[in-house]
Amino acid sequence: TNSGPPSLSALRELHRHHVHSIPIESLSIHSGEKIILDISWIYNKIVVRRRGGFCYENNGLFLWVLQQLGYQTQVLSSMVRNRIIGIYGPPFDHMILVVNLEGRRWICDVGYGEAPVEPFPLEAGWEEEQDSGVYHLLVEGDEWYMERKEENGWRSLYKFTLEERTFEDFRDMCEYHQTSPSSIFVQKSLCSLQLPRARLTYIGRQLITTEYTKGGGSVKTTRKLTDEEIPGLLRDTFWIVLSGKLIPKDEDIVIPKTHQSVRFMIADLLVKLTIVIL
């Protein structure tokens, strides 16, 4: 732990060290453990029991650490974009942090698998290559979009506004993400850890290794797993030993009814528009 005064170099080191040592995981949900939005509980789970967590846990712990070290922090709500249907989740879908430091503001996010590995300047149009990819901040009105470079262009990861929130504001969505069939964390037993220029991801009954190449490219390899192999893999690869029995899961994400109605409405409009044009 860096005990010196707040500095950008120390913040970068803390952020990078967090993402390289604490996995993003949903294993509690698939091994009979309730996730509680409480810093002492999260500290015990991640630090004492050597686990990981989803965004509210990882970013919640990082928020507490930064506050203890004297950093000026803010909590923001963001909405994650669904890769399949292109629709953003509800408010408080994802939690991110902003740190005011040395005359600039920095996005800190240690709870999202594809996010920057180091703090990212909160500046419109900023583009930067990091270990995990090339990122860009797009601003439209009061909405900010964190984008990641793909082979066919920029892809939005999530969007957010600068309205300040509190850690407690995420309580309902923390419950939603561990109970709703529309939540990726309910549909998939997963554990993912960032490495230097690579990422290791356990999901369901497979292990995915992603190597990041210069300019935003990536190469993936997948290994199938048996149920018997999974506990040993979690122990040896992610240093995780669960207290309950894990039930592996990798199901398709269910689109919420509100999103389905929007989807059908758009499809219906497109059909009518086509008829008018023809």
Position 93 pLDDT exceeds 60: yes
Per-residue confidence (pLDDT) for residue 142, from 0 to 100: 96
In this prediction, residue 84 has a pLDDT band, given cuts at 50, 70 and 90, of confident
pLDDT at 265 over 70: no
Kindly indicate the confidence band of residue 216, based on its pLDDT and cuts at 50, 70 and 90. Answer: confident
Q: Which of 18-22, 149-153, 242-246 has the lowest mean pLDDT?
A: 149-153
**φ, ψ of residue 145 in degrees (nearest 5):** -120, 120
Confidence at residue 256, expressed as pLDDT on a 0 to 100 scale: 64
Q: What's the confidence (pLDDT) of residue 83?
A: 85
User: Among 15, 93, 108, 109, which one carries the catalytic annotation?
Assistant: 109
In angstroms, the CA 143 to CA 214 distance is 29
Both tokens of 146, joined, read: 């964190």
* 28, burial (CB in 10 Å: exposed 0-12, middle 13-18, buried 19+): buried
Structural tokens at position 147: 């984008």
What is the pLDDT, as a whole number, of residue 151? 84
CA distance 226 to 230: 7
Across the beta sheet with 104-108, the strand order is 120-121, 104-108, 94-101, 72-80, 153-160, 143-150, 133-140, 127-130
Per-residue pLDDT band at 273 (split at 50, 70, 90): very low
Q: How many domains does the chain have?
A: 1
Find the range with the poorest average confidence among 83-87, 97-101, 186-190, 243-247: 83-87
Assign 230 a pLDDT band (cuts: 50, 70, 90): very high
- Which pairing describes strands 127-130 and 133-140: parallel, antiparallel, or unpaired? antiparallel
> 171: closest CA among 66, 42, 46?
42
What tokens appear for 55 in the block? 């965004």
| Beta carbons of 60 and 275 less than 8 angstroms apart | no
Q: What is the arithmetic mean of pLDDT over 7-33? A: 97
Across residues 118-126, what is the average pLDDT?
97
In the predicted structure, residue 2 carries a pLDDT above the cut 90: no
Domain span at residue 121 reads 1-278
Residue 109 annotated as catalytic:
yes
Whether residue 3 is predicted with pLDDT greater than 90 in this model: the reply is: no
| Of the candidate ranges 22-26, 33-37, 120-124, 261-265, the one whose mean pLDDT is the lowest | 261-265
3-class secondary structure for 225-262?
CCCCCHHHHHHHHHCCCCCCCCCCCECCCCCCHHHHHH
Sheet holding 198-203, edge to edge: 24-25, 190-195, 198-203, 206-213, 217-224
- CATH (domain of 185): 3.30.2140.20
The b-or-e profile of 80-99 (16+ CB within 10 A means b, else e) is bbbeeeeebbebbbbbbbbb
Catalytic residue among 94, 108, 174, 191: 94
- Read off the pLDDT of each residue in 85-101 and give the average, rounded to a whole number: 95
Predicted local distance difference test score (pLDDT) of residue 244: 95
Residue 275, pLDDT score: 43
State the catalytic residue, choosing from 18, 55, 93, 174: 55
pLDDT of residue 148 exceeding 80, the answer is yes
